[in-house]
């Protein structure tokens, strides 16, 4: 291997070997999920510790076995739960409320450290946990570190060295520890006022001030780097995903300047490992390349799944530096287009004056392990897919081409092209009837009559009281319900028995709601394992996997369906359940559908046509369902779009176009609803301010939103915008088992009425109740009904005595 003298005189490898940016940490059989949950359930920390070490070791050896060889080739991710949370603990960023409770910065891999990490992620009885937020444009969620004024960094240098040695001991070549980089750490964190109690009460201070922390933070990183070097590390990965997106609450210029300064500071550290700085989840852009190129780092990674190949001029600042070309995507499960990737590498070879290494565009943590385990998949469809292990093989094949050309490459590309051609021709991928129908859609299909006319027709049909009470759709998914579905899935319970079982659940759910005195009822969604998977299993154009788990956050894993072909609806999906529920009551029962954007957001979506087209295909299938529901007498239909905000592109320039087609698809799905059919939608995961206009443009008759966690900001934002249709700001935070008191619910309803006006407000929780238990659900809904009655009385008879 080539070696160059480092500034401190120690020989170090000059070029980063072929690599990937990261690998799933949860384990092929969700070993870490099980270990974490066992520990959280009161288990022995030693067992978690042992599971963590063996998981790390297995992964390391597995990656070497797949062919990632050479010092620095294998990424070593030490995070037990989350890479951002792990960085926070390694840097000693622990909020004061935890420190006051005796939870101080400590080695995250020790027993105390595992307790600390768990407390930060899950909270304790007295302490609110760190917030969870979406990780770039993925379905992964990270824990948001809190930066408090006056807080000091406390780098866990010895811990990082210990961790590195444990990895190195289990490995033939030197592994490469992966850490979140300093600029991204600051941008992903939130600046708080340092309130000691709770966590929800945190106010925000000037976000710009966070970049002032960079020099100190880099000092802390320097400690980690020196310890790593002392432990023998030749490479370390400092990932800077935040540099590829804009839309931060800090302007671009200081971010770029801060990046340049930070990496100069880190590169100047004596006795450090080589620094590899990948910029992922988007194009790095010329300024970022310049800032990193001039800093003295040894390798930079770029995302060529999203980004274009930079020009020679843009690459000039990287002269002599290893460029890791992220030509294999890390966010989807499709095979890499071999011809395209080869072309990208050839272009880079012409333009870059320095070594080139093949890599992935992002970490592979967002894809399942191994498609070979999907024995139930149609082999023709399976061969279009690449999970993490297949992607590593792709990286290696491309690397062998890059380094001297491989004789197999040509046949590899040819096979890939053949497969693509077969895929394009596949009768389930291109369905003429679906395409013809979409081509015939015209603007009028996406328009309903004037909302004032609709309001009157609906009031006449439904006769609802002011502040109608309702829920968001799901009711507690009890162990009994899960057992029922599992037995059915395994074939132990026949269709008839299953339908009877679910009907019994629906009947109980309806009876509960009647007893509580709710105005608009739901069937409770007992038949749904998941609000997207349920529809994916019934729609044509999707396949689901058996082992395709990916980490969503903490110990929570999802198995996203694969949307591979033209979507259509072979038969009605929800009508029977809804109709059955309606037959049991004289009150209106809402039909429940999941909207096109949310179905896209929570699936692996085909890469061979624009998202907008796929979205409209789903919309047409849902439109058929809306028609059938209407025909069967359903007067209220809710089309959930909780992910509307979530799919918003990272780059501001891409947002208007996204909002246009996502709104259009929703309107296509609901456009056939008659004036007297009331269309509801439900949105959650807050920060709606940026999409208020789009929410209005959905033109739903009633919109329920999560509001209780965001301090009701959304209510005033909607009022400012002049929202005129029905609105149900969630008055009860269902994410915790706490039962809200009548007083606090009354207070929130009063607030909503005072800001939005009594005519438009609905009374409801802020999301579905499937994760709750029955006792707190009943108690909370009872209080909701009481609070609503109190506020109704105030509206009917204003407080001033006559
Ligand atoms: C994440 S939004 C959930 C909406 C769905 N209808 C439910 O009640 O569970
Ligand atoms: Zn929700």
Residue with tokens 């309806």: 510
Was 190 annotated as part of a binding site?
no
Residue nearest to atom 9 of ligand 1 (CA): 768
Q: What angle do CA 165, 166, 168 make, to 5 degrees?
A: 60
| Shared domain check, 737 and 614 | yes
Ligand 1 midpoint to CA 640 (Å): 7
Residues taking part in catalysis: 735
Domain that holds residue 531: 466-792
| Shared domain check, 374 and 516 | no
pLDDT of 44 above 50: yes
Ligand 2 midpoint to CA 706 (Å): 7
Ligand 2 midpoint to CA 353 (Å): 50
Return the minimum-mean-pLDDT range out of 75-84, 456-465, 467-476, 726-735.
726-735
Bridge partner residues of 594 (DSSP): 640
Q: How many angstroms separate the CA atoms of 700 and 455, rounded?
A: 11
Atom of ligand 1 nearest to the CA of 474: 8
Give percent of the chain with pLDDT exceeding 70.
95
Was 474 annotated as part of a binding site?
yes
- Determine contact, residues 710/729, Cβ cutoff 8 Å: no
| Shared domain check, 420 and 471 | no
Q: Starting from the CA of residue 768, give the closest ligand.
A: 1
pLDDT in tens, 118-164: 999 998 888 888 988 889 989 899 999 999 988 889 999 999 999 99
Ligand 2 midpoint to CA 674 (Å): 26
Residue-wise burial string across 70-90, b where 16 or more C-beta atoms lie within 10 A, e elsewhere = bbbbbbbbbbbbbbbbbbbbb
Around Cβ 92, how many Cβ atoms within 10 Å? 17
- Pocket probe mutation, ligand 1, options 134, 473, 637, max atoms within 8 Å of Cβ: 473
How buried is residue 219: exposed, middle or buried, by Cβ count under 10 Å (0-12/13-18/19+)? middle
Residue nearest to atom 3 of ligand 1 (CA): 768
Residue nearest to atom 2 of ligand 1 (CA): 642
| Shared domain check, 421 and 532 | no
Atom of ligand 1 nearest to the CA of 594: 6
Was 767 annotated as part of a binding site?
yes
Residue nearest to atom 1 of ligand 1 (CA): 642
| Shared domain check, 517 and 401 | no
Q: How many angstroms separate the CA atoms of 699 and 59, rounded?
A: 49
Bridge partner residues of 680 (DSSP): 638, 702
Domain final residue pick, 366, 394, 425: 425
pLDDT of 343 above 50: yes
pLDDT of 789 above 90: yes
**SS3 (DSSP) at 181:** coil
Judge whether 797 lies within some domain. Answer: no
pLDDT of 651 above 90: no
Q: How many angstroms separate the CA atoms of 100 and 617, rounded?
A: 54
pLDDT of 405 above 80: no
pLDDT given at position 196: 33
Record the tokens describing residue 71, joined without a space: 């010092």
pLDDT in tens, 663-702: 999 999 999 999 999 999 999 866 777 889 999 999 999 9
Give the CATH number of the domain where residue 780 resides.
3.20.20.210
Record the tokens describing residue 661, joined without a space: 């087609």
**SS3 (DSSP) at 326:** strand
pLDDT given at position 7: 47
How buried is residue 204: exposed, middle or buried, by Cβ count under 10 Å (0-12/13-18/19+)? exposed
Was 412 annotated as part of a binding site?
no
Judge whether 449 lies within some domain. Answer: no
Was 684 annotated as part of a binding site?
yes
Contacts of 295 (CB under 8 A, 6+ apart): 260, 263, 264, 266, 267
| Shared domain check, 484 and 345 | no
Q: Starting from the CA of residue 471, give the closest ligand.
A: 1
The DSSP call for residue 395 is H
Was 706 annotated as part of a binding site?
yes
pLDDT given at position 684: 86
| Shared domain check, 397 and 537 | no
pLDDT given at position 645: 87
Of the pLDDT bands very low, low, confident and very high (cuts 50, 70, 90), residue 48 is very high
Was 2 annotated as part of a binding site?
no
Ligand 1 midpoint to CA 710 (Å): 18
- Determine contact, residues 693/655, Cβ cutoff 8 Å: no
- Determine contact, residues 70/173, Cβ cutoff 8 Å: yes
pLDDT given at position 636: 98
Contacts of 699 (CB under 8 A, 6+ apart): 448, 451, 667, 670, 679, 725
- Pocket probe mutation, ligand 1, options 470, 472, 598, max atoms within 8 Å of Cβ: 472
pLDDT in tens, 738-757: 899 999 999 999 999 999 99
Ligand 1 midpoint to CA 704 (Å): 11
| Shared domain check, 267 and 392 | yes
Looking at per-residue pLDDT, the higher value among 480 and 797 belongs to: 480
Ligand 2 midpoint to CA 766 (Å): 7
pLDDT in tens, 262-320: 999 999 999 999 999 999 999 999 999 999 999 999 999 999 998 789 999 999 999 99
Atom of ligand 1 nearest to the CA of 638: 6
Was 383 annotated as part of a binding site?
no
Contacts of 752 (CB under 8 A, 6+ apart): 712, 715, 727, 729, 731, 761
pLDDT given at position 5: 43
pLDDT of 94 above 60: yes
Atom of ligand 1 nearest to the CA of 528: 9
Nearest to 288 by CA among 412, 427, 391, 183: 183
Record the tokens describing residue 769, joined without a space: 């109740």
Ligand 2 midpoint to CA 770 (Å): 10
pLDDT of 101 above 90: yes
Judge whether 453 lies within some domain. Answer: no
| Shared domain check, 471 and 421 | no
Pocket of ligand 1 (CB under 6 A): 472-474, 525, 531, 592, 640, 642, 682, 684, 767-768, 770
Q: How many angstroms separate the CA atoms of 316 and 354, rounded?
A: 10
Judge whether 748 lies within some domain. Answer: yes
Q: Across residues 539-555, what is the average pLDDT?
A: 96
Q: Starting from the CA of residue 706, give the closest ligand.
A: 2
How buried is residue 41: exposed, middle or buried, by Cβ count under 10 Å (0-12/13-18/19+)? exposed
Tell me the H-state helices in 649-770: 655-670, 692-697, 713-721, 742-756
Q: Across residues 39-43, what is the average pLDDT?
A: 95
The domain tally of the chain equals 2
Judge whether 504 lies within some domain. Answer: yes
Judge whether 439 lies within some domain. Answer: no
| Shared domain check, 494 and 389 | no
Chain centroid offset of residue 254 CA: 28
Q: State the sign of the Cα–Cα–Cα–Cα dihedral 209, 213, 215, 218.
A: negative
Of the pLDDT bands very low, low, confident and very high (cuts 50, 70, 90), residue 718 is confident
Residue nearest to atom 7 of ligand 1 (CA): 768
Q: Starting from the CA of residue 532, give the closest ligand.
A: 1
Residue nearest to atom 4 of ligand 1 (CA): 768
Atom of ligand 1 nearest to the CA of 471: 8
| Shared domain check, 597 and 472 | yes
What's the mean pLDDT when you consider all of the chain?
Answer: 93
Q: Starting from the CA of residue 680, give the closest ligand.
A: 1
Judge whether 165 lies within some domain. Answer: yes
Of the pLDDT bands very low, low, confident and very high (cuts 50, 70, 90), residue 801 is low
Judge whether 9 lies within some domain. Answer: no
Record the tokens describing residue 281, joined without a space: 């989840």
Bridge partner residues of 142 (DSSP): 133
pLDDT in tens, 592-610: 999 999 999 999 999 999 9
Q: How many angstroms separate the CA atoms of 517 and 471, rounded?
A: 12
Residue nearest to atom 8 of ligand 1 (CA): 768
Q: Across residues 206-235, what is the average pLDDT?
A: 91
Nearest to 396 by CA among 74, 29, 727, 797: 74
Ligand 2 midpoint to CA 134 (Å): 15
Q: How many angstroms separate the CA atoms of 35 and 553, rounded?
A: 15
pLDDT given at position 799: 63
pLDDT in tens, 471-517: 999 999 999 999 999 999 999 999 999 999 999 999 999 999 999 99
Q: How many angstroms separate the CA atoms of 108 and 113, rounded?
A: 4
| Shared domain check, 520 and 373 | no
- Pocket probe mutation, ligand 1, options 470, 578, 638, 640, max atoms within 8 Å of Cβ: 640
pLDDT given at position 797: 82
- Pocket probe mutation, ligand 1, options 477, 581, 768, 770, max atoms within 8 Å of Cβ: 768
- Pocket probe mutation, ligand 1, options 521, 525, 527, 531, max atoms within 8 Å of Cβ: 531
Ligand 1 midpoint to CA 392 (Å): 36
Ligand 1 midpoint to CA 682 (Å): 8
Residue nearest to atom 6 of ligand 1 (CA): 473
Record the tokens describing residue 421, joined without a space: 């051609």
Instruction: Count how many Cα atoms sit within 13 Å of the Cα of residue 664 in the half-sphere of its side chain.
Output: 18
């Amino acid at each position: 291997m080539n070696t160059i003298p480092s500034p401190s005189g120690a020989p170090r490898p000059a070029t980063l070997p072929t690599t990937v940016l990261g690998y799933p940490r949860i384990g092929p059989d969700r070993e870490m999920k099980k270990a974490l949950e066992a520990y959280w359930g009161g288990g022995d920390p030693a067992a978690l510790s042992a599971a963590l070490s063996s998981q790390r070791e297995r992964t390391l050896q597995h990656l070497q076995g797949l062919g990632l060889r050479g010092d620095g080739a294998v990424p070593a991710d030490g995070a037990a739960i989350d890479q951002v949370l792990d960085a926070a603990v390694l840097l000693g960023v622990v909020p004061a409320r935890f420190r006051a409770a005796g939870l101080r910065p400590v080695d995250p891999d020790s027993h105390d450290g595992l307790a600390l990490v768990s407390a930060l992620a899950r909270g304790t009885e007295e302490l609110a946990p760190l917030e969870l937020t979406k990780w770039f444009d993925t379905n992964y969620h990270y824990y948001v570190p809190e930066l408090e004024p006056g807080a000091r960094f406390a780098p866990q240098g010895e811990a990082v060295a210990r961790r590195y040695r444990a990895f190195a001991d289990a490995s033939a070549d030197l592994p490469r520890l992966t850490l979140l980089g300093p600029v991204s750490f600051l941008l992903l964190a939130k600046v708080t006022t340092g309130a000691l109690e709770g966590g929800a009460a945190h106010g925000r201070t000037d976000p710009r001030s966070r970049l002032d922390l960079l020099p100190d933070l880099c000092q802390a990183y320097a400690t980690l780097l020196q310890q790593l070097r002392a432990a023998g590390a030749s490479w370390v990965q400092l990932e800077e995903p935040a540099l590829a997106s804009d839309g931060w609450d800090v302007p671009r210029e200081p971010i770029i300047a801060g990046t340049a300064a930070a990496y100069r500071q880190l590169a100047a550290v004596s006795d450090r490992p080589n620094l590899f700085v990948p910029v992922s989840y988007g194009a790095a852009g010329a300024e970022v390349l310049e800032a990193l190129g001039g800093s003295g780092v040894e390798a930079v990674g770029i995302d060529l799944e999203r980004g274009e190949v930079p020009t020679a001029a843009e690459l000039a600042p990287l002269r002599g530096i290893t460029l890791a070309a992220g030509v294999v995507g890390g966010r989807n499960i499709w095979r890499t287009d071999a011809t395209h990737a080869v072309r990208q590498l050839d272009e880079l070879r012409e333009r870059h004056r320095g070594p080139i290494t093949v890599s992935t565009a992002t970490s592979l943590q967002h894809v399942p392990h191994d498609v070979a385990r999907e024995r139930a998949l149609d082999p023709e469809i399976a061969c279009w897919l690449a999970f993490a292990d297949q992607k590593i093989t792709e990286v290696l094949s491309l690397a062998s081409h890059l380094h001297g050309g491989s004789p197999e490459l040509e046949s590899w590309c040819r096979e890939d092209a053949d497969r693509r051609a077969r895929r394009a021709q596949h009768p389930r991928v291109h369905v003429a009837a679906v395409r013809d129908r979409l081509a015939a859609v015209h603007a009028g299909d996406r328009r309903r009559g004037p909302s004032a006319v609709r309001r009157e027709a609906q009031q006449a049909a439904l006769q609802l009281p002011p502040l109608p009470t309702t829920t968001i759709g799901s009711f507690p998914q009890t162990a009994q319900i899960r057992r029922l579905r599992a037995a059915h899935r395994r074939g132990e319970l026949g269709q008839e028995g299953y339908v009877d079982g679910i009907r019994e659940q629906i009947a109980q759910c309806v009876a509960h709601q009647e007893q509580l005195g709710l105005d608009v009822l739901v069937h409770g969604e007992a038949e749904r394992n998941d609000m997207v998977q349920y529809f994916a299993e019934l729609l044509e154009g999707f396949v689901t996997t058996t082992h395709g788990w990916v980490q969503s956050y903490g110990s929570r894993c999802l198995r996203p369906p694969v949307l591979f072909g033209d979507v259509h609806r072979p038969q009605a999906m929800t009508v029977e359940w809804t109709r059955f529920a309606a037959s049991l009551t004289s009150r209106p029962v809402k039909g429940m559908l999941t909207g096109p954007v949310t179905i896209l957001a929570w699936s692996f979506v085909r890469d061979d046509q624009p998202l907008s087209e796929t979205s409209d295909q789903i919309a047409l299938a849902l439109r058929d369902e809306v028609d059938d529901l209407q025909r069967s007498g359903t007067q209220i239909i809710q089309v959930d779009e909780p992910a509307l905000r979530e799919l918003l592109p990272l780059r501001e320039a891409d947002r208007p176009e996204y909002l246009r087609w996502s709104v259009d698809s929703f309107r296509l799905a609901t456009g056939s609803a008659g004036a007297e059919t009331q269309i509801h939608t439900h949105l959650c995961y807050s920060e709606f301010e940026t999409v208020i206009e789009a929410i209005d443009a959905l033109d739903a008759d009633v919109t329920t939103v999560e509001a209780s966690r965001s301090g009701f900001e959304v209510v005033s934002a909607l009022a400012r915008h002049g929202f005129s249709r029905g609105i149900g700001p969630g008055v009860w935070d269902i994410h915790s088992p706490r039962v809200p008191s009548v007083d606090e619910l009354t207070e929130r309803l009063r607030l909503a009425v005072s800001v939005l006006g009594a005519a438009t407000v609905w009374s409801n929780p802020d999301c579905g109740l499937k994760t709750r238990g029955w006792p707190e659900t009943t108690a909370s809904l009872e209080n909701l009904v009481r609070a609503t009655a109190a506020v109704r009385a105030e509206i009917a008879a204003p407080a001033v005595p006559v």
